[in-house]
């Protein structure tokens, strides 16, 4: 069994485990699997692999967003990892990342930004992807800045600033 098959199986089996399905962030192996699958897709540059991974990652994103109100654990890092996959491989699988990005920044971020680790990771995500976001999603960043300004004092705890 290949490394990617093991990680795909982890994502797939999480959908069948009712505890994990209702609170995906409670299983830290999911974040690790998403990150590892992302790295494998980058290294392999295979449309077939990206398509197989996308199917499971997209299901995980939908479950994660749906479980947000019941989630007892921070889901922000998992969602950011999935969003990075969408940004880098979305064209290959014809996935428009705009609705997913908007969902994260409108619905998830204000709750998740209270976690300083998520806050810093979000700012890093924005800085790393600034050019792509400005080019492909020009109306998104002004809305993100507005949401971030409403998140209040958490910026004081972050070592990272967004440079637009």
Mean pLDDT check: name the lowest of 81-85, 114-118, 154-158: 154-158
Radius of gyration for the chain, computed over Cα atoms and rounded to the nearest angstrom: 15
pLDDT higher than threshold 50 for residue 154: no
Domain spans in the chain, listed from the N-terminal domain onward = 3-157
Angle at alpha carbon of residue 126, lines to 112 and 93, rounded to 5°: 95
Mean pLDDT check: name the lowest of 4-8, 26-30, 57-61, 143-147: 143-147
In this prediction, residues 87-106 reach a mean pLDDT of 93
| pLDDT at residue number 124 | 92
Give pTM, 2 decimals. 0.85
* 150 contacts 110 by C-beta, under 8 angstroms: yes
In this prediction, residues 11-40 reach a mean pLDDT of 80
């Amino acid at each position: 069994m290949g490394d990617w098959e093991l990680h795909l199986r982890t994502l797939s089996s999480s959908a069948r485990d009712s505890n994990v399905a209702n609170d995906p962030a409670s299983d830290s192996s999911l974040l690790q699997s998403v990150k590892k699958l992302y790295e494998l897709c980058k290294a392999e540059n295979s449309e077939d692999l990206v398509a197989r991974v996308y199917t499971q990652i997209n299901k995980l994103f939908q479950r994660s967003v749906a479980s947000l109100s019941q989630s007892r654990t921070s889901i922000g890092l998992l969602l950011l990892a999935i969003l990075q996959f969408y940004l880098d491989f979305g064209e290959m699988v014809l996935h428009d990342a705009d609705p997913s990005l908007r969902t994260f920044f409108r619905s998830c971020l204000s709750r998740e930004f209270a976690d300083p680790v998520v806050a810093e990771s979000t700012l890093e995500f924005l800085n790393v992807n600034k050019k792509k976001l400005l080019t492909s999603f020009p109306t998104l960043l002004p809305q993100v800045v507005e949401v971030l300004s409403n998140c209040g004092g958490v910026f004081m705890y972050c070592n990272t600033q967004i440079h637009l």
